[in-house]
Amino acid sequence: MLNNIEHIGIAVKNAEESIKLFNALFNTTPYKEEAVVSENVKTVFYKTGETKVELLQATSDDSAIAKFIEKKGEGIHHMAFAVTDIYAEINRLKSEGFVFINETPKQGADNKLIVFLHPKSSNGVLIELCQEII
């Protein structure tokens, strides 16, 4: 079961410039910056209320974020939902006909296991499922 919106991912060209903008918007600084080497991305996290906002900057020209920005420009990249049991949720959603980009959870940012649903099976929205690693 999807518990809540865990975070919204925003693709940015330049994290340092975007940090200035989001510091002013949220009137706070990021609580975490992290490189996810396997995804060729730098992440910056803010928390507003119960929801997080993740800024994503490509660290390689062939990363998914670089390709997204080249095609669509900066903006909302994905919505992430927290789940209690990522494996059960993958099985449930597969049985409902959803298609995954990756069906095997992998280590993501912010101490999470993650998988992504293909946007073609979710009305054009890239959906991330994430489970806290204990």
CA-nearest of 116, 129, 125, 122 to 89 is 129
Question: Which pLDDT belongs to residue 2?
Answer: 84
Q: What angle do CA 55, 64, 86 make, to 5 degrees?
A: 75
Question: Which pLDDT belongs to residue 134?
Answer: 82
pTM: 0.91
Question: Which pLDDT belongs to residue 14?
Answer: 97
pLDDT tops 90 at residue 6: yes
